[in-house]
């Protein structure tokens, strides 16, 4: 049975399509503002934001295909098989890209908090190289495998088989073992590991900020001033 009845399809479409339009418009607007402003596009952090907006824009653009896959196209994906492949490739590629972007954000925050003067040496060209590497990994390790592995075919729900309950646009069984290996190794490398690193970096930034705040309070305390004054006199 399809996962949604007609009422659920209408409700899902009513909720999803306005969010899709807002996502497309908001991300295009953000990209245009950053790229058109000289002050904004020379900021390394803003370049990463613009790159992340590209990923979010693609995610919003393919969201109707996700809706179609789970509703009208659940039994028979009647639109182009290329769109099925592109949907899966873009979905996994943008997910991987988003994961790496957020990891870079966390690292830059930690780096700028720990070594603020050295962070100034991180220039636009360095940010562009990092962004290029992110998208290279997202395309080669995210988009291409899923574009190759996925396929659309009409499902026969009257025959009990390995793919009986699957949507029409799904994994080609010839690549199923490859997909299982990727699900274990690839997800661990591209999603779970960044999640752990982001958590550790966030904790590190919190500890550094707390330590500096505690240090400033100690230096502003009268006893701390007296100690500093006595040290100056001895010198």
Number of structural domains, the chain?
1
Containing structural domain, residue 79: 6-194
CA within 13 Å, CB half, 81: 9
Query: Do the domain assignments include residue 1?
Result: no
What residues pair up with 169 in beta bridges, in sequence order?
Answer: 152
**pLDDT, tens digit (0-9, with 9 covering 90-100), for 45-62:** 899 999 999 999 999 999
Query: Token pair of 207, please?
Result: 């500890």
Query: Do the domain assignments include residue 208?
Result: no
Query: Do the domain assignments include residue 218?
Result: no
pTM of the model: 0.83
Query: Do the domain assignments include residue 82?
Result: yes
Query: Do the domain assignments include residue 203?
Result: no
Query: Do the domain assignments include residue 225?
Result: no
Query: Do the domain assignments include residue 183?
Result: yes
**pLDDT, tens digit (0-9, with 9 covering 90-100), for 185-235:** 999 999 999 999 999 999 999 998 888 888 777 777 655 555 445 544 455
CB 219 within 8 A of CB 127: no
Nearest to 97 by CA among 23, 178, 24, 194: 194
Whole-number Å distance between alpha carbons of 235 and 228: 11
């Amino acid at each position: 049975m399809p996962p949604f009845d007609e009422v659920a399809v209408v409700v899902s479409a009513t909720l999803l399509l306005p969010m899709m339009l807002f996502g497309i418009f908001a991300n295009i607007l953000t990209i245009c503002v950053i790229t058109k402003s000289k002050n904004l596009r020379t900021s390394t952090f803003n370049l990463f934001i613009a790159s992340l907006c590209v990923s979010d824009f693609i995610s919003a653009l393919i969201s109707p295909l996700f809706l179609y896959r789970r509703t009208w196209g659940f039994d028979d994906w009647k639109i182009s098989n290329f769109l099925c492949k592109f949907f899966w490739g873009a979905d996994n590629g943008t997910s991987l890209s988003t994961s790496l972007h957020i990891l870079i954000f966390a690292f830059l925050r930690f780096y700028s908090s720990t070594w603020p003067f050295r962070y100034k040496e991180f220039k636009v060209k360095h940010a562009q190289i990092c962004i290029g590497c992110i998208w290279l990994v997202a395309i080669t390790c995210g988009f291409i495998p899923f574009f190759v592995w996925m396929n659309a075919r009409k499902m026969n729900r009257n025959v009990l088989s390995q793919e009986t309950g699957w949507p029409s646009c799904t994994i080609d069984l010839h690549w199923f073992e490859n997909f299982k290996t990727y699900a274990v190794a690839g997800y661990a490398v591209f999603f779970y590991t960044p999640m752990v690193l982001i958590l550790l970096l966030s904790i590190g930034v919190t500890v550094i900020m707390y330590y500096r705040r505690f240090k400033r309070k100690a230096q502003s305390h009268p006893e701390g001033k007296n100690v500093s004054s006595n040290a100056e006199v001895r010198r």
